[in-house]
Amino acid sequence: MPHNEELVVTTSTVRYPVIVEAGALERLPHHLASLRLDGALWLVSDSAVYPRHGLALEERLRGAGYTVYSRIIPSGEASKNLDQLSQLYSWMLDGGVERRDTVLALGGGVVGDIAGFAAASILRGIALVQLPTTLLAMVDAAVGGKTGVNHPLGKNLIGAFYQPRLVLADTQTLRTLPSRELRAGWAEVIKHGVIRDAGLFDQLEHWQAEYGALSIDLGILSHQTPITDIIRRAVAVKVAVVSADEREQGERIILNYGHTVGHALEAAMGYGMLLHGEAVAIGMHAEARIAAAIGLCTPELVERQQQLLSAYGLAAAFPVHADREAILALMLRDKKVERKRIRWVLPTALGAVAVRDDVPVELVRETLLGLSS
Ligand SMILES: NC(=O)c1ccc[n+]([C@@H]2O[C@H](COP(=O)([O-])OP(=O)(O)OC[C@H]3O[C@@H](n4cnc5c(N)ncnc54)[C@H](O)[C@@H]3O)[C@@H](O)[C@H]2O)c1
């Protein structure tokens, strides 16, 4: 993909740019002005991100003449709940929020999801700008309009599709991201290569060969690596898929690769044990093995994917304590299961997947049992 090609999500109802650049936050006032977002700005961030990136941003926006209100939620998944959401509503309503105002979501997927849903629902919806600061949020959560919070009965059960007016990912913010979080984000980048962009996969292999293990350490950002280009290319996959299927009625399911096993693994291990991306990496390995077992892809693909995952610091091995029968049971209860048939997204070649609902449960069980710990 050419260096500066503009990424634009285009659906039947919306059109918005996705900007991926080092230093992009410096130009936020300019982008807001060109979108005519000139009301007050309601900046939502978390306790880890705000001191590192929020304060400077706020100052820049005030300097450009904007009225900015800020709200910091505690860092972590536990904040993505109805209580925090209700506090966000009170903060905005007390502060006199108006229809012409904009919510700025500065943070990872947690901030993006809860602030996004607040924007979707307050006054029946005000403008939303996503400013992702984790690799996972840049390549996945911030693009596509899924917003929401968790309910005591399950993750992401309350929410809405609500598309932002702009997504602006400043790759410089990744410099402060803890390395485990960064690694978890690479799982989604690699996933995008496997499902839709073999060239991205090649590039990730090449980058790894050139820079070695350092490539997962963002210290390398200072060495003129093509990280921003790679992230932009991974984002382009999400942009293309969401543009083709805004509401997950068709093609968008391909983004679920690695997630059928991954989600069940997260739940079986207890949330918080594995990061989402870590579970997805293990899920991708298991699901590629299933694809190979039914003759859909070659064992070489499974091997290449495993090598790449491990080169980016992601284990493909099953956690020792994971109960495989419990994981199978959880998969059969997943919300994406229809009439007891799991809809698998399985690789057929690098850059291509097929959706299959005819994989025998026994074969899945055997594959899970055959995975090494
Ligand atoms: N809406 C979607 O389509 C979608 C897609 C995938 C995941 N999600 C959701 O996203 C959430 C996970 O997102 P996440 O992995 O970004 O988690 P997160 O938002 O919890 O961020 C991970 C950690 O990194 C910290 N952090 C974020 N940016 C930082 C930075 N630049 N420097 C230092 N610390 C930083 C955060 O405070 C947090 O502790 C989950 O709730 C998941 O359900 C949503």
Look up tokens 């210290």; give the residue: 219
Percent of the chain clearing pLDDT 70 (strictly above): 94
- Residue 160: the pLDDT is 97
- Which atom of ligand 1 sits closest to the CA of residue 137? 16
For 369, counting Cβ atoms within 10 Å of its Cβ (0-12 exposed, 13-18 middle, 19+ buried), the class is exposed
Return the SS3 of 124. Answer: helix
CB 173 near ligand 1, within 6 Å: yes
CB 46 near ligand 1, within 6 Å: yes
Mutate to test the pocket of ligand 1, among 47, 52, 72, 136 (most ligand atoms within 8 A of CB): 136
List, for residues 204-257, the tens digit of each pLDDT value: 998 888 776 545 555 445 445 678 889 999 999 999 999 999 888 889 999 999
- Residue 372: the pLDDT is 79
Rounded alpha-carbon distances, angstroms, from residue 343 to 201, 272, 303, 359: 24, 26, 23, 9
Amino acid identity for residue 319 in this structure: P
User: Can you give the residue ranges of every domain in the chain?
Assistant: 7-173, 179-370
Chain mean pLDDT for the chain: 92
| Inter-residue contact 361 to 328 (CB < 8 Å) | yes
Return the SS3 of 160. Answer: strand
CB 145 near ligand 1, within 6 Å: no
CATH H-level, domain 179-370: superfamily = Dehydroquinate synthase-like - alpha domain (1.20.1090.10)
Q: What angle do CA 251, 335, 76 make, to 5 degrees?
A: 95
List, for residues 280-328, the tens digit of each pLDDT value: 999 999 999 999 999 999 999 999 999 999 999 998 888 888 889 999 9
For 27, counting Cβ atoms within 10 Å of its Cβ (0-12 exposed, 13-18 middle, 19+ buried), the class is middle
- Residue 359: the pLDDT is 95
Q: From the CA of 300, how far away is ligand 1's center (Å)?
A: 33
Residue 265 has pLDDT above 70, yes or no: yes
Nearest CA to ligand 1 atom 29: 177
Percent of the chain clearing pLDDT 90 (strictly above): 78
CB 163 near ligand 1, within 6 Å: no
- Residue 225: the pLDDT is 61
Nearest CA to ligand 1 atom 41: 110
Total residues belonging to the chain: 373
Q: What is the pTM of this model?
A: 0.95
- Domain 7-173 CATH assignment equals 3.40.50.1970: yes
CB 164 near ligand 1, within 6 Å: no
* For residues 251-278, average pLDDT: 91
CB 171 near ligand 1, within 6 Å: no
List, for residues 57-94, the tens digit of each pLDDT value: 999 999 999 999 999 999 999 999 999 999 999 999 99
- Residue 219: the pLDDT is 47
For 241, counting Cβ atoms within 10 Å of its Cβ (0-12 exposed, 13-18 middle, 19+ buried), the class is buried
List, for residues 13-68, the tens digit of each pLDDT value: 899 999 999 999 999 999 999 999 999 999 999 999 999 999 999 999 999 999 99
Instruction: Determine the distance from the C-alpha atom of residue 173 to the mean position of all C-alpha atoms in its chain, rounded to a whole number.
Output: 16
Strands (E), the chain: 7-10, 15-21, 41-46, 68-73, 102-107, 127-132, 146-151, 154-161, 166-170, 344-349, 352-356
- Which atom of ligand 1 sits closest to the CA of residue 143? 3
- Residue 210: the pLDDT is 78
The DSSP line for 135-149 is: HHIIIIITSS-EEEE
Q: Which residues are catalytic?
A: 124, 146, 188, 238, 248, 252, 256, 259, 263, 276
* For residues 135-139, average pLDDT: 97
- Residue 6: the pLDDT is 86
- pLDDT band at residue 336 under the 50/70/90 scheme: low
